[in-house]
Amino acid sequence: MRASTIVIRDGLVSLSRAGLLQSDDGGVFRYAPGSPRLEALAEALANAYRERPLTVTRMVFEDADDRLRGFADAFRIKKD
C-alpha cells in the first residue's frame, strides 16, 4: 500500500480511538482490542478477508452512500 505518513498516522490514531490498537510513549502501535467483542469482530473480518479478499477490499473503499443505497435496494419490491 502506498500512503503518506500523515494518512497512515491518522489511520493508526483512528484505530486506537476505536479500541483496536494501543500506542506507547514512543508512538509505536500494537494490536490490542479493548474488549472480547472487538477481538471477535476483528477475527471475523480477518477470516472474511482470507476467504474473499476482493469483496472485503471493495466494501472498505466503497462510498458509504453506495452501501446504504445497496442495503435499501435489497428491500425494494420489483415488478414482474
Tell me, what's the pLDDT at 62?
A: 75
55 shares its domain with 24: no
Q: DSSP assignment of 20-40, as one string?
A: SEEE-TT--EEE--SSHHHHH
Note down the domain range covering 60.
Answer: 35-80
25 shares its domain with 41: no
Segment 20-30, tens digit of pLDDT: 999 999 989 99
CB atoms within 10 A of CB 50: 9
Q: Looking up cell 483512528, which residue turns up?
A: 14
Binned at pLDDT 50, 70 and 90, residue 1 comes out as: low
24 shares its domain with 43: no
Q: Looking up cell 452501501, which residue turns up?
A: 67
42 shares its domain with 77: yes
Structural domain count, the chain: 2
Residues 6+ apart with CB under 8 A from 12: 21, 23, 29
2 shares its domain with 28: yes
Segment 28-80, tens digit of pLDDT: 999 999 999 999 999 999 999 999 999 888 887 777 667 667 666 767 766 65
52 shares its domain with 76: yes
What three-state secondary structure class fits 8?
helix
